[in-house]
Structure 1
Amino acid sequence: MTLTCNQLLETYPDLWRDATRHPFLDRCQAGTIEPQQFNTWLTQDYLFVTEFTRFLANTLAAAPVAHFDVLLGGLNAIRDELAWFRDKAQERQLSLDSAPQATCEAYCQLMASWSVQPYAVQATALWAIELAYNQGWQLPGVMVSPYDEFAQRWGNPGFTEYVKQLEAQANERLAGASEDVQGQAEAVFQAVARQENAFWQMAFIQGC
């Protein structure tokens, strides 16, 4: 039986719900998030995205040539995203030189370990990480300013289409993968979901 991305979502609905729905996001939508909570997320997510850039580059290195265009588009977008994070931090007078918290560090270490797994596993992880951002910032509903800018960055139609392209590439490679590799991909999907939930929670408990 061939594993697909959609099957993963259908198999672990509760796990994925927890990855993409969290009081942190609900309070952003309502405009009631505490500044310290949001600032913690922003600074830690910058550190995560920095390491995510390395993961994406490693995924590109393992990818078939036919997948280059989509992945190169993702890397180009990440360049702009890192600059955007720096601008947002400057607006809030935040330092991005802070050390990663334990939750962020654990997630980054996991990503580094996935970079040595088969490409089908890496492609599944990449899709799941980006889908978590895409859905997490959309599912609460229209957000108030200034958080609507963040929702738009990961919830806009272009990013949604990019996530669909990543899903198609992951499905393509999973279709020809062994049962062992499919099992690794399933485990990585679960790990991404748990880490995404833990990341929201890390930021949410700040300032409470």
Structure 2
Amino acid sequence: MDTGDLLKKHDDLWRESWEHEFIVGVREGNLPDGVFDTWLVQDYLFVAGAMSYQARLVPRAPRWDQAPIIGGLVALEQELTWFEGMAKSRGLLLDDMPHPHSAAYVRFLQSLEIESYIVNAVALWAVEQAYLDAWTNAAPGAEDYRDFVEHWTDPKFAEYIGALRSSADRALSRADERQAHRAEDAFVSVARLERDFWNIAYSQVGI
């Protein structure tokens, strides 16, 4: 089993993780007022939590996989700074409480710390791949959101995810039956969590 097999086997669920009305709204420019900003704040809070998880993964990774994970951490720190600038320009406060689903997603990542590195390598790749697939599907984006779409479809981001996918495939090539099953479970969980995360955007606008 490799990452391609996971994507093929769970194609319908994976599509739900990036073919969402929120992404369509970004592409077509018809999101209701407040929806994008609600999502933006919650995504910032999620990234902050995910960064802690990824930092703890570094010492568990094989030496050849540490570089992309560390590079991803640097990018996440820069991402938080970028979020903060965007929030300021939009008049948003970033000290909100995480939405219950956002908090649950972070807890899921933290729960993976008891799993093998193989499971974590697949989960980390899946988190980032779902994000790239979603924003690629949103391209080129309506004018109000084009800067965001361009930022999250940058070729360097795609290269990083390619490196994570190679790491996941190497890990899966060493997996025994139980590890492969747990990695698949993690992949499915990420797809569902990503799908549901977009719904957070609509949680405070009364629709």
**Separation in structure 1 between the aligned mates of residue 54 and residue 43 of structure 2, nearest angstrom:** 16
Alignment partner, residue 18 of structure 1: 16
Q: TM-score, normalised by structure 2?
A: 0.96
1:106-163 deviation line (CA, Å, top 9, x unaligned):
1111011012211111110110000011010011331122311211222111111111
**% identical equivalent positions:** 35
Q: Which residue of 2 aligns with 1:189?
A: 187
Q: Which runs of 5+ in 1 are unaligned?
A: none
Partners of 1:23 and 1:204 within 8 A in 2: no
* Equivalent runs, 1:32-47 vs 2, <5 Å: 32-47=30-45
Alignment of 1:45-64 (within 5 A): 45-64=43-62
Q: Which runs of 5+ in 2 are unaligned?
A: none
- 1:81-100 → structure 2 map (5 Å cutoff): 81-100=79-98
Give, as a single letter, the amino acid of the residue that structure 1 aligns with 2:42: Q
Alpha-carbon RMSD = 1.1
Give SS of 2:141's match: coil
| Number of the residue aligned with 2:26 | 28
Partner Cα distance (1:183, 1:52) in 2: 23
Of 131, 139, 145, which aligns to 1:147? Answer: 145
**Matched pairs, number:** 206
Instruction: Give the secondary structure class of the aligned counterpart of 1:97.
Output: coil
Contact 1:29 / 1:141 at 8 angstroms: preserved in 2? yes
CA distance in 1, matches of 2:31, 2:125: 28
Provide the residue aligned with 1:168 in structure 2.
166
Asked if structure 2 preserves the Cα contact closer than 8 Å seen for 1:20 and 1:135, the reply is yes
**In structure 2, what is the Cα distance between the partners aligned to 1:167 and 1:185?**
13
Q: Deviations over 1:25-56 (max 9, x none)?
A: 11111111123111110111011000110111
What code does the residue aligned with 1:38 have? F
- Deviation at 1:205? 4.6
CA contact (8 A) 2:138 2:149 kept: no
How far does the alpha carbon of each residue in 1:83-120 deviate from its partner, in whole angstroms, 9 at most, with x for none?
01111111111111111111111111101101221111
Structure 1 residue corresponding to 2:3, chosen from 2, 5, 10: 5
Q: Distance in 2 between matches of 1:56 and 1:145?
A: 33
* 1:5-39 deviation digits (Å, cap 9, x = unpaired): 11000000110000011010111111111231111
TM-score (norm 1): 0.95
**Separation in 2, partners of 1:23, 1:40:** 15
2:110 corresponds to 1:112: yes
